[in-house]
Structure 1
Amino acid sequence: MYIIKLDAIDSTNTYLKGMASINLPKDYTVVVAEQQTKGRGQMGTQWQTEVGKNLTASVFKHFYNFKVENQFYISMVVSLAVCKALEGFRIPKLRIKWPNDILSAEKKICGVLIENVIKNNKFQGSIIGFGLNVNQKFFDALPKASSMSLLTGIVFDKDEVLSKILKQLQVYFKLLENQKFDVLKTEYEASLFRRDKPSTFKMSNNEILLGIIQGVTETGKLKVWTEDEIIKIFDLKEATLLY
């Protein structure tokens, strides 16, 4: 494992993408920064973080003969690995908010951004970026955000947290490499936030939908049992879970 530590960078994902555009990095090459000036989340959102308080990192994972249609399993692996690592630090009530936000006691503590590397029409690997709120105490205008420290009252060693996450990534990617798709999907669905509970969704046309999350498809679309008693399938751009 090769770890690059930086004081400040625009984005750890962007840094790894730059490396990959020249030569593919070694498997599990890690870039970690004390400060990200242009950290990104899903759908182009900005990731806000206090300098030096949190863990902002990206990991390059190489894939061989990987089928593009299975790429959501990468998201499952990352979500489950982060949750399993955080369990080891006794972070309470961990859940995965579809597709890969990590919540504790219904507060967001980690966001994930996965960008795939495709060369010559072949899936080469993934750049897995994650921002984990570790020791930050204040979140201005972010009432649904929290941190490991706020949730437990403990100040954590960020290097130790990173080490535990990287170990769990290796464990779960091994399952993926061995094509244990059913195992990953079952564990992921069991961890889904608000699964089997009546929930409210905002649709892309701003309409409000009431339904119950049933799980996900093989490609990561959300399965929702709706008021008219049919299961509807939504992708990330079509529905947002309100909570």
Structure 2
Amino acid sequence: MRIIKLNAIDSTNAYLKRKQITGTLEDYTIVIAEHQKEGRGQMGTQWDAEPSKNLTFSIFKHVDFVSYTHQFYISMAVALGVTKALKTLQIPKLAIKWPNDILAERKKIGGILIENSIKQGQLSFSVIGIGLNVNQKFFNNLPKASSLHILTGKLYSIEELMMTILEGIQHYFEIFEAKNYKSIKSEYEALLFRKHKPSTFRTLSEGIFTGYINGISDDGKLEVLVEDQIIKTYDLKEIELQY
């Protein structure tokens, strides 16, 4: 394991991808920054974090053991690793909002951005970006955001928290490499936000409708139970949960 500490960077994911081009990185190479100028979330959304108050880091992970059809298990393993770490801190009412937003008491406290590299039709490595709201007290115009400090009133060591999260991620990657897919999927689905609860969704083709989150498919699509007991599957860019 190698840890690279930076004061400011465009994004920790971009930094690791540039480093990989110039030479092979060792497994679990980590870059942590006090401030990301261009941090991103899913589908290019901006990740806005107050400098030095939050955890923003990326992990380089070799994933050549992962089949193309099981690549969403990388996302599940990481999300479970983060929630495992937060459970040890007794963060209340943790949930995962599909695909990999981390919630506590129904508010977003973290997000994960995974960028996979595919060579000759096979997965090669992943750059795993994690942003977690830690000691920030205010989120202007973001009513659905929160932080560990807001939730518990405590101040946390950023680096100690990162190491605890890394231990959780390594734990679930060991389960993943042992091909215990059922265990990972069942734990992930047990934490799914609004699973089996009536929820409102929006899609471009169907507009707004009501359904129930049933689970996820092996390739990471969201399974939604709709009228007439029909289960439909949706990819990341096809559906939005309204809550």
TM-score by length of 1: 0.98
Partner of 1:86: 86
- Counterparts of 2:225 and 2:22 in 1: how far apart (Å)? 46
Whether contact under 8 Å (2:66, 2:123) holds in the other structure is yes
Q: 1:206, CA displacement in angstroms?
A: 7.0
Partner of 1:156: 156
Alignment of 1:38-187 (within 5 A): 38-187=38-187
Listed one character per residue, the Cα deviations across residues 185-234 of structure 1 (whole Å, up to 9, x for unaligned) are 00000000000100000112471010000000000001111123211111
Listed one character per residue, the Cα deviations across residues 106-125 of structure 1 (whole Å, up to 9, x for unaligned) are 00000100001223443111
- Counterparts of 1:31 and 1:2 in 2: how far apart (Å)? 8
Give the count of matched residue pairs: 243
Displacement over 6 Å in runs of 4+: none
- Counterparts of 2:193 and 2:43 in 1: how far apart (Å)? 20
- Counterparts of 1:59 and 1:218 in 2: how far apart (Å)? 24
Whether contact under 8 Å (2:215, 2:224) holds in the other structure is yes
Q: 1:79, CA displacement in angstroms?
A: 0.5
- Counterparts of 2:5 and 2:206 in 1: how far apart (Å)? 42
Whether contact under 8 Å (2:64, 2:122) holds in the other structure is no
Percent identical pairs in the alignment equals 55
Q: CA separation of 1:35/1:109 partners in 2, compared to 1, >3 Å: closer, same or farther?
A: same
Unaligned regions of 5+ residues in structure 1, if any?
none
Letter aligned with residue 177 of structure 1: E
Listed one character per residue, the Cα deviations across residues 63-117 of structure 1 (whole Å, up to 9, x for unaligned) are 2342111100000001000000001111100000000000000000001000012
Partner of 2:188: 188
Letter aligned with residue 102 of structure 2: I
Listed one character per residue, the Cα deviations across residues 143-165 of structure 1 (whole Å, up to 9, x for unaligned) are 00000000000001111100100
Q: Is structure 2 residue 4 aligned with structure 1 residue 4?
A: yes
- Counterparts of 2:14 and 2:206 in 1: how far apart (Å)? 32
- Counterparts of 1:104 and 1:67 in 2: how far apart (Å)? 32
- Counterparts of 2:70 and 2:39 in 1: how far apart (Å)? 26
Listed one character per residue, the Cα deviations across residues 12-48 of structure 1 (whole Å, up to 9, x for unaligned) are 0000010112223100000000000000000000000
- Counterparts of 1:209 and 1:21 in 2: how far apart (Å)? 45
Q: Is structure 2 residue 47 aligned with structure 1 residue 15?
A: no
- Counterparts of 1:98 and 1:231 in 2: how far apart (Å)? 16
- Counterparts of 1:112 and 1:206 in 2: how far apart (Å)? 28
SS at match of 2:76: helix
Letter aligned with residue 213 of structure 1: I
Letter aligned with residue 25 of structure 1: L
SS at match of 1:228: helix
Letter aligned with residue 229 of structure 1: Q
